[in-house]
Amino acid sequence: MSNFFCYQCEQIAGGKACTVRGVCGKDPLVATLQDEITAGLVTLGRKNNGKVPDVCDCDLVLEALFLTLTNVNFDPAALERINTTIKEAACGTSPYLATSLFTEGSADEISLRSTLLFGLRGMAAYAWHARILGHSDSTVCGCVHKMLFEIGQPHTVPEWVALLMELGRANLACLKLLDTAHTSTFGHPMPTPVSTSREPGPFIVVSGHDLLDLKALLEQTEGAGVNIYTHGEMLPAHAYPAFKKYAHLKGHVGTAWQNQQKEFDALPGAVLITTNCLMPPKPSYANNLFTTSVAGWPNVPHVASVNGKKDFSKVIARARELGGWRGAEAGVPLLTGFGHNAVLAAAPQVVDAVKSGALKHIYLVGGCDGAKPGRNAFTQLVERLPKDTLILTLACGKFRFNHLQEQLGDINGIPRLLDMGQCNDAYSALVVALELAKAFECGVNDLPLSIVLSWYEQKAVCILLTLLSLGVQHIVLGPSLPAFISPNVLDFLVKEFNIKPFAH
């Protein structure tokens, strides 16, 4: 095996693994540092014997795991700082070797260890978002420390599977925690049309996932003559009551993360990346790009938190220098804001539509988008669905078809396409499914519901584990199956949960 090895995302080279340089843009130094950070966290788990220590810096552990996700941080200096901190925290414990992560044990053990690790990274990202809003959960924190310990231990295949199901259950608690953090801070999302038109004048485009950073930027730009637009997974922010008072939050620009290089090319505005989904910047806009929170790229200005506050003045100044669009341009509005609160308010209408035959089936088509060929099949699927079907969607995979909202129409006044939010809002989809099962007095698997999950990175892995831990069957996964799933593990998933590959 070469010194560079990564197969944690869907776009890996040859569908097997990146072994020279990451397709995502990470170089061998960044990959090595991320593996060392992971090994240091496993060592820390050993030091604490899998228990939450009396003095626990969960912020450090969650941030470190988040930094190892795909497309988050490519800055060796930032990674080295946190790597050193973790090594100091784990001092005195026999170190876990980074090379053991993907080499120790049989092919099935490596596959299951990798799945546990990647799912843990995803859950840590969700927990980090909740934690910066002041919300934490002992179940989630305890699971993180336990899994860091277990990753470094030998297990039988059934034991690995049991750990995966435990992580899935803990992630349900984590998703609920994040939902509470968002709704208690920003209010419950409400159905909202979002403009894709462009207005003249200086502007900043905000991408990533972090709503708290968006709020701080809106506060600092209020009355400053600089407009704010969202991009990618930030689209659902427009549906939260807390953001509706900002008249200079004008609308949405662009589509999903993988189109950044095209959509930001020659963009006459500043761009702020708040979390994961950072693409290697092109020279045409590298000087207009800023990162904050966990995101990072070498030599790109990073807005750090100082005493709990962030100063976005340099981002604002750059937007003014660029001047923005010279004229207006019309766009088609996108409808978002169908969180569980809004959807369940319409549940009686949904139930009545099913009972009357007006609504025959519900499809949940959601997850991560990506650049790999074949993802247009998700667009074709939605286009082909009969008019008596309802489509729930969330995460950036919706950009494959959310422009079809008007074309898809409605069922008895209910829009056929309901955008439930970010991948961070996956709890809404789970709540709606569980509540509909109660309404029909049946199990989730007995509902007229099909789940088509598009995956790209590690947050999708932990959502899949949560669905499996709930006993959900017949999930369709695509556009391709994860390379870290061995043939035997795939066979188990097919037999136990009837998982099916997405048919292009």
Given this model, what pLDDT does residue 2 score?
53
Domain end (from 322, 356, 376): 322
**Per the structure block, which two tokens stand in for 467?**
């669905």
Domain shared by 237 and 345, yes or no: no
Whether 22 and 157 map to the same domain: the answer is yes
CATH code, domain with 350: 3.40.50.2030
Closest CA to 11 of 207, 284, 277, 263: 277
pLDDT of residue 374: 84
- C-alpha span between 394 and 212 (Å, rounded): 20
Question: Looking at the structure, do residues 345 and 488 belong to the same domain, yes or no?
Answer: yes
Residue 1 lies in a domain: no
* Boundary of a domain, candidates 185, 202, 221: 185
Task: Say if residue 312 is in the same domain as residue 377.
Answer: no
The reply to whether 307 and 352 lie within a common domain is no
Q: What is the pLDDT of residue 372?
A: 83
Co-location of 72 and 157 in the same domain: yes
Q: Which residue has the tokens 């589509």?
A: 255
> Confidence band (pLDDT; 50, 70, 90) for 504?
low
Q: What residues contact residue 262 under an 8 Å CB cut-off, 6+ apart?
A: none
Spell out the residues 6+ positions from residue 459 whose beta carbon is closer than 8 angstroms to its own.
69, 122, 125, 126, 368, 423
User: Is residue 90 scored above 80 in pLDDT?
Assistant: yes
Residue 307 carries which DSSP code? T
Query: 493 with 396, same domain?
Result: yes
Quickly state the pLDDT bin for 1 (edges 50, 70, 90). very low
Residues 484 and 467 in one domain: yes
User: Residue 208 pLDDT more than 60?
Assistant: yes
pLDDT digits (tens, 9 = 90+) for 308-337: 999 999 999 999 999 999 999 999 999 999
- 197 and 175 together in one domain: no
Residue 433 shares a structural domain with residue 460: yes
Residue 329 in domain: no
In this structure, what CATH number is given to the domain that contains residue 28? 1.20.1270.20
Question: Domain span at residue 378?
Answer: 339-501
Provide CB contacts within 8 A for 69, sequence distance 6+.
Answer: 121, 122, 125, 276, 457, 458, 459
pLDDT of amino acid 122: 98
Percent of the chain with pLDDT over 70: 99
Mean pLDDT of 98-117: 96
Average pLDDT over the chain reads: 96
- Tell me what the mean pLDDT of segment 194-209 comes to: 98
- Tell me the mean pLDDT in the region 280-291: 97
Least confident piece of the model among 184-188, 368-372, 442-446, 490-494: 368-372
CB contact at 8 A, 136 and 143 = no
Same domain? For 161 and 222 the reply is no
Q: Quick one: average pLDDT of 54-82?
A: 94
pLDDT tens across 259-269, in order?
999 999 999 99
Per-residue confidence band for 176, with pLDDT thresholds at 50, 70 and 90: very high
Last residue in a domain, options 139, 155, 185: 185
Tell me the pLDDT band of 57, cut-offs 50, 70 and 90.
confident
Residue 503 in this model has a pLDDT that exceeds 90: no
Domain assignment present for 457? yes
> Is residue 4 situated within a structural domain?
no
Total domains present in the chain: 3
Count of Cβ atoms closer than 10 Å to residue 441 Cβ: 7
Entry pTM: 0.97
Does residue 215 surpass a pLDDT of 80?
A: yes
User: Considering the domain boundaries, does residue 7 fall inside one?
Assistant: no
